[in-house]
Structure 1
Amino acid sequence: MQFLFDRPACQNLRKSLRREWLETNGLGDYASSTLVCCHTRKYHGLFVTELARPAGRHVLLSTLEESLLMADREFFFSCRKHPGVYYPRGHEYMQSAELGCLPRFRYRFGDVFVTRELMLLPGRHVLLVRYEAAVTSPETPPLTLRLKPLLACRNMHAVRHADGSPAVAGSPTLFGVSVQPDPALPPLFLQVDGTSAFRSAPDWYYAAEYLAEQERGFDFQEDLLMPGVFDIALEPGKPVYFTAATESLQREHARHALDALWQSERERRLAAEKAAQTLQGQLCREGERFLCRTPSLAPEEAGPPVRPDAVVAGYHWFGAWGRDTLIALPGLTFFAGRREAGEHILARMGAAVKNGLVPNVFSLDGDHAYNCVDASLWYVWAVQMLLKTAPDRLDLVKQHCWPAIRTIIEAYRGGKAPHISPDAEGFLNVGDATTQLTWMDAAVHGRPVTPRHGQPVEISALWFNALAFADDLARRLDIPHWQDSREQRARMRLVFQHRHWISDPLGDYLADVWREEGQDRRVRPNQLFAVSLPYPILEEDFYASVVSRVRQCLLTPYGLRTLAPSAAEYRPLYEGGPESRDSAYHQGTVWPWLLGAYGDALLRAAWDEEGAVRDTLQTLTPLFSRHLREAGIGSLSEIFDGDPPHLPDGCIAQAWSVAECQRLLVTLQKAAPECYARWESRLPQGD
């Protein structure tokens, strides 16, 4: 899909600064900014690269100050926010922005049009920025493109401030300059293809402001380093290229090979875009952004195709998280035609199991964080989804997945996994009042916002599902001496019903957590997993009541609320500083990823599948139409406010939002293909 924004849409800063674009390369690198290329986040940058040492993403090239020199006049067409002013005001020259296979921006200066496009090369830490001029008058004077690189050269979570030391000058190289303001970071090569001159003029640009960081209660001002000025002859119809990279592109510049590189990658993307004209095609293409290769496995000389071994949980600030990876993996791979990538990541995840736990957070040095109890159970579910889409992969599962599944089951069953102790009925007691071990893991002042120690409903459901699948898999693989759990699971169903079921005049439902001292009776979406998983722990007669209560209290046009509005703890808005936002994160905030489970549970409970599909699609129309043109353009946000108008927030592109919505759409289309086709054909376009 192409997302085109005209001149009025671009020049309306109130809206355009809330719309963001994202470009990635399969290595964890990204380029990102707002629609008018005025940064509003410390995470924005034209070249943000994932490094092994120092570990993490680093904003190297923040932005470019761009101007066009023509007839003794200089027209600035970049844009920044400084205290009390936007300068330069390049958005005033902006004619259009087009986000599709690559970001494309068009500006007008009288009879001269300048187009800026950019891309990150797959499998290489290389940014290409392409400029091309077009004129409508034969008497146009000579044109010069002036570029001033503004560098941050810091970890993406920080901001840079001038410390009184002189700005670092660059070292001249063929076709440009090499700069290294921080010796802990790699040199940054800034080079130009075309007739150009570089003039060293090191300086500071003070107090660039990031409005989103100001809203979020963080340091929002930054000083940027400017090493010098590029002046480039810009002939109409003849493109020029600016490159930023952690490697010298001297060979490509010398051989004028950049245009061939550009055209080859552009053609590949256009072919992918042609195949992504449907909604599912768009989400499938977006899903590719989250599949990446870790830095330690990505040498500079590597090129496409990049074999992913990890999932980025969300852009801009999340890395590889175990739980997020396993929930997102089926929608990103098995349901999106990328089975081999999914299998490779599953094998890597299984190899990382320790004491029955899958890491919650992965570290490049192998010192992973093992501090969640559900990631291992989601691993089992991800294997189930692989076999659902590819039943013939049983041999691969036996070789690469069964050892991990067996380790998980035996560790959880035997009480050998940290934070977990089984009770006499076979259920898992997890954590204590000071821990946050499930996906609702926000904490304020070191205390969980949503204490869920005891027996959280989805942990019991996932554990039951894992036991049943392991029994089935052991039979299919002819595993000797396997401890079958059929009799135990029959008892667990009865006990689960007794512990979690709540009869209520407004509609019966499941308690969110059971402890010996009683039930947590808050209405939350976690109860859906007792219905949605392949082996549901809840008896069939009770499905409809659970789904009905969730639909009544939690379903919105953008996903499911994490808490019913009737609860005293409900937080309608996700806003303010870190403490305020963490307090709202799972206390009413809407999450799109839960729609995957909602769709599975809905179809399992519905007596009229087509009617259920029709109503659900109609409810979710805003998520799959209007929202694709806001926040992260073309992608799905991490969260939304609990109350209307349900403004998006959190990450602008979240892996499990995209993945589970992709899986949801596949599920609904399969259940009611004609209904789905009618709905998709009527999706509103534009704002």
Structure 2
Amino acid sequence: MSYLKFDKTVMINLEESLTREILRTNRTGAYHCTTVVDCNTRKYHGLLVMPVPELDDDNHVLLSSLDETVIQHGAEFNLGLHKYQGDNFSPKGHKYIREFSCDTVPRTLYRVGGVILSKEKVFSLYENRIMIKYTLEDAHSPTTLRFRPFLAFRSVNSLTQENGNVNRSFEEVPNGIKTCMYPGYPELYMQFNKTAKFVFEPYWYNGIEYSKEQERGYPYKEDLYVPGYFEVPIKKGETIIFSAGDTPVNTRRLKTYYDTEIAARTPRTSFFNCLKNSAQQFYFRPKENDAYLLAGYPWFKVRARDLFVSVPGCSLSIADPVRFEKILATAMPAIRNFMATGALDPVIREIDEPDVMLWAIWAIQQYAKSQGIEKARTLYADFVSEVIDYIRAQKHPLLKVTENGLVFADGKDKAITWMNSTRDGHPVVPRSGYIVEFNALWYNALNFYIELSGEQAKEEIDSLIKAIDKSFPEVFVNGYNYLFDYVNGSFVDWSVRPNMIFAVAFDYSPLTRTQKRAVVDIVTKELLTPKGLRSLSPKSEGYKPYYIGSQAERDGAYHQGTAWPWLFGAYLEAYLRVFGKSGVSFVERMLISMEEEMSLHCVGTIPELFDGNPPFTGRGAISFAMNVAAILRVVDLLKKYNAE
């Protein structure tokens, strides 16, 4: 039985099928993304979406979609689907779908009268290329397939309209054509593994709508250019492979290329395998010797905090320590360069934010637990020492060590924490002063530094750790037995927020066992949802659980009540620290709600955030690295508890 399979009743019901998306990526940052019925609902959707560094830093939609038509006895049955004004859908090809599955690759089965046609899509790991395999499973008379490519050639951040600037010329290449709509773009090669007849019939399809953009208050209507169509006869049992990419392909070897890509995939046959595949989709290698993690799809780039929070789960938890080492080998020079010169990195964004280096040490700590302290010492001890020295020497422009040993950061006018939404240039949540997770990270980093570097480090910073043992509870623990989110002079933030959970989740904590239990208790009572921890308690002023409306409305709700799965990971780790083996069954039950997400929203992965109130709808980016990584770490942690 297929793990990710949807039958006809789901596929023909657009209220169900249009909310489910699929995503396939490669190592260059290119991707294929659409809904399970191949109807684009976002400006970010497309069959081939790729970076064009010669133009800008954006991704660009080259091939938006491909409409297939089955022709028998002169009768045409169009399998495409587009939305137009007034909730009108045309040509309504979804009514022919019998089932959809995506265990290995997305596979759609169509039935048109006596014709049964399967369609499978695979996105190349290292080339900007999508390959679509069509197999005529059954037919009782001669059959022809017609393909109309819908071209966009525009940034994912814009929409295109009919215009006279389009280059309509094309050039024949083996079993297909190449064309380029505008200067500066690469050629788009569209080819088949057998001879295909191309009919030049240029036409603009006007007024195609993207419902997700309409919901978010953005422009949502687009015109797409179709240069013509391909026709290919197909026999019962025959397979045809279509390729679209920015380089030509050897059409005689297309089937081999396709099979090679399939062999490299881990089938999505379980919760863990879905998460593993999702984690690997964030791998980003713009240059051959570099390695990064993208923060999410479809719009996020490489962000420093996200990278270090995510890298243990996206590598160590799927038994890929080499990937961890490659990513750290790319990221450490960027941090060292920032420490030496203050220069920001062109790829790893926000490297100057005050908690980034502390998350880097946390990530190395996870490597030490996975691969052994000796190996971690060999690879990373010098780096950890440099970071600790840099912060202690008060060299970080945004993070200062105070007399009580705690770290202080000014976030009144600039968003400096992961709660980084802004409105009119100012933080929606202006967390400033002694910030609870910054100090939990700092305390954990200092103790791990001793573990990594030995007795000399202990002598060097033992007094600092003892100072924090005293000052952390004095500053953060309040009379109601939870932790202030931040403290700035005489001002204390009484809001119940999830950031206190890190003081329990980390290996080293300045809290007593009783204090840890109290933190877990209040987080459980006020912040826990089936999809993550709320960013603000419903009992706190300003609670906004629904991430909907205009950009300003969504910015206001982003960290004011929405639920975040990456915090769920920290919570479950903290829960196991407090309750030990007796907490295993609770953690396993909580993970069931995350497994449900594998067949919702973006199939096989976890979105950026959820509404804080039922029905806890997924929102934001359709696949988010921190969330996937956190749940992978919990799954890995459960394996270790169960093994014991």
TM-score bin, normalised by smaller chain: over 0.9
Q: What is the Cα deviation at residue 76 of structure 1?
A: 0.4
Q: Deviations over 1:177-215 (max 9, x none)?
A: 111112222111111221321122222211111101110
Identify which range, 94-103 or 151-160, moves more after superposition. 151-160
Identify which of 613, 632, 635 aligns with 1:662: 632
Match of 1:288 in 2: 280
* CA apart distance, 1:447: 1.2
Distance 1:445 1:412 in 2: 31
- Asked if 1:578 corresponds to 2:551, the answer is yes
For 1:303, the equivalent position in structure 2 comes to: none
Confirm or deny that 1:174 pairs with 2:145. Answer: no
Matches within 5 A, 1:362-381: 363-364=346-347, 368-381=349-362
1:262: Cα distance to partner? 1.7
Corresponding letter in the other structure for 2:567: L
CA drift at 1:468: 1.6
Aligned to 2:317: 335
The 3 A distance-change label for structure 1 pair 369 and 511 is closer
Which residue of the partner structure matches residue 258 of structure 1? 254
Residue 64 (str. 1) matches residue 66 (str. 2): yes
Deviates more, 1:166-175 or 1:339-348: 166-175
Q: CA 1:397–1:348 in 2, change beyond 3 Å: closer, same or farther?
A: farther
Closer, same or farther in 2 for the Cα pair 1:67/1:360, shift >3 Å? farther
Deviates more, 1:569-578 or 1:536-545: 536-545
State how 1:665-680 maps to structure 2 within 5 Å: 665-672=635-642
Q: How many Å apart are 1:362 and its aligned residue?
A: 5.6
Using the alignment, how far apart are the partners of 1:88 and 1:427 within structure 2? 63
Matched, 1:612 2:612: no
Aligned to 1:448: 427
**Is the CA contact 2:11–2:94 (under 8 Å) kept in the aligned structure 1?**
yes
Whole-angstrom distance in 1 between the partners of 2:618 and 2:416 = 26
Q: Does 1:540 align with 2:540?
A: no
In the alignment, is the contact (CA less than 8 A) between 1:104 and 1:115 conserved in 2? yes
How far off its partner does 1:4 sit?
Answer: 0.8
Could you say what secondary structure the match of 2:131 adopts? strand
- The offset of 1:129, in angstroms, is 1.0
**In terms of mean alpha carbon deviation, does 37-46 or 429-438 score higher?**
429-438
| CA distance, structure 2, for counterparts of residue 50 and residue 316 of structure 1 | 12
TM-score between both structures, scaled by the size of structure 2: 0.95
Cα deviation for residue 611 of structure 1 reads: 3.5
C-alpha deviation, 1:359, in angstroms: 10
1:279 aligned onto 2:271? yes
Q: Is residue 2:213 matched to residue 1:243?
A: no
**Which of 117, 122, 128 matches 1:114?**
117
Secondary structure of 2:150's counterpart equals strand
Larger mean Cα displacement after TM superposition, 85-94 or 224-233: 224-233
| Cα deviations by residue, 1:197-246 (Å, 9 ceiling, x for unpaired) | 11222222111111011101111111112122111112221111111111
Counterpart of 1:61 in structure 2: which amino acid? L
Paired amino acid for 2:28:
L
Q: What is the correspondence of 1:54-93 to structure 2 with a 5 Å cutoff?
A: 54=55, 55-84=57-86, 85-93=88-96
- State the TM-score, normalized to the length of structure 1: 0.89
Aligned 8 A contact 2:32 2:48 in 1: yes
Question: Structure 2: how far apart are the matches of 1:360 and 1:110?
Answer: 64
Q: CA separation in 1, counterparts of 2:216 and 2:521?
A: 36
* Amino acid in the other structure paired with 1:500: F
Q: Which residue in 1 is equivalent to 2:601?
A: 631
**Which residue of structure 2 aligns with residue 95 of structure 1?**
98
1:141-172 CA distance string (max 9 Å, x none): x2111111111112212211223435633232
- Of 454, 476, 480, the residue aligned with 1:500 is 476
The 2-side partners of 1:110 and 1:360 are apart by: 64
Shift of 1:136: 4.9
Once the two structures are overlaid, the 10-residue window that deviates more, 377-386 or 238-247, is 238-247
The reply on whether 1:398 has 2:378 as its aligned counterpart is: yes
Give distance in 2, aligned partners of 1:232 and 1:441.
52
- The letter of the residue matching 2:291 is D
**Aligned-pair distance for 1:493?**
1.7
1:357 positional shift:
9.6
Measured against aligned partners, the alpha-carbon deviations of 1:355-391 in whole angstroms (never above 9, x if no partner) come to 4499999634x8x544411111110000000010000
**SS of structure 2 residue aligned to 1:509:** coil
CA distance in 2, matches of 1:337, 1:602: 24
Query: Does 2:398 align with 1:419?
Result: yes
What residue in structure 2 maps to residue 145 of structure 1?
145
Q: Offset at 1:345?
A: 0.4
Equivalent pair of 1:595/1:664 in contact (CA under 8 Å): no
CA contact (8 A) 2:534 2:563 kept: yes
Preserved CA contact (<8 Å) 1:132 1:239? yes
Paired with 1:586 and 1:360, the residues of 2 have a C-alpha distance of: 29
CA distance in structure 2 between the aligned counterparts of 1:545 and 1:123, rounded to whole angstroms: 49
Q: CA deviation at 1:135?
A: 2.2
Q: Which residue of 2 aligns with 1:301?
A: none
AA of the residue aligned to 1:22 = L
Partners of 2:85 and 2:207 within 8 A in 1: yes
Distance 2:476 2:271 in 1: 38
Runs (5+) with no aligned partner, structure 1: 298-306, 675-687
Whether 2:9 is the aligned partner of 1:34: answer no
Instruction: Report the counterpart of residue 302 of structure 1 in structure 2.
Output: none
Q: Percent identity?
A: 31
Q: Residue 341 and residue 397 in structure 1: after superposition, are their counterparts in 2 closer, same or farther (change >3 A)? A: farther
Counterpart AA for 2:414: T
SS at match of 1:158: coil
Query: Quick one: distance in 2 between partners of 1:459 and 1:499?
Result: 13
Amino acid at match of 1:290: F
> SS of the residue aligned with 2:315?
helix
Q: Quick check: 284-293 or 571-580, which moved more?
A: 284-293
3-state SS, counterpart of residue 92 of structure 1:
helix
- Give the secondary structure class of the aligned counterpart of 1:485: helix
Q: Which amino acid aligns with 1:282?
A: C
SS at match of 2:255: helix
| Partner of residue 537, structure 2 | 564
1:223 matched to which residue of 2?
A: 223
CA contact (8 A) 1:356 1:376 kept: no
Change (3 A) 1:397 1:171: farther
Specify the code of the residue in structure 2 equivalent to 1:380. I
Partners of 1:209 and 1:221 within 8 A in 2: yes
- The alignment partner of 1:165 has SS state of coil
The one-letter code matched in structure 2 to 1:444 is R
Q: Secondary structure in 2 aligned to 1:257?
A: helix
Amino acid aligned to 1:81: K
Q: Which amino acid aligns with 1:149?
A: P
User: 1:540-574 deviations in whole A, cap 9, x for unaligned?
Assistant: 33110001010111111111111000112110211
Query: What is the CA-CA distance between 1:393 and the residue it aligns to?
Result: 5.1
Q: CA RMSD in A?
A: 2.1
Supply the distance in 2 between the matched residues of 1:104 and 1:545 (Cα, whole angstroms). Answer: 49
CA contact 1:67–1:146 (8 Å) conserved in 2: yes
Structure 2 unaligned residues grouped into runs of 5+: none
Q: Following TM superposition, by how much is the alpha carbon of 1:673 offset from its aligned partner in structure 2, in angstroms?
A: 5.4
SS in 2 for 1:205: strand
Moved more, 10-19 or 626-635: 626-635
Instruction: Give the SS at the match of 1:619.
Output: helix
Contact 1:639–1:648 (8 Å) recurs in 2: yes
Match of 1:300 in 2: none
Residue 522 of structure 2 is aligned to residue 549 of structure 1 = yes
AA partner of residue 360 (structure 2): Y
1:444 Cα shift?
1.0
> 1:458 touches 1:526 (CA, 8 Å); kept in 2?
yes
The number of residues matched between the two structures is 640
Shift of 1:261: 1.8
Pair 1:523-2:489 in alignment: no
Is contact 1:322-1:360 (8 Å) kept?
Answer: no
Aligned equivalents of 1:78, 1:513: Cα separation in 2: 53
Mapped partners of 2:243, 2:176: distance in 1: 9
Q: Distance in 2 between matches of 1:553 and 1:404?
A: 39
How far apart are residue 656 of structure 1 and its match? Answer: 1.3
SS of the residue corresponding to residue 622 of structure 1 reads helix
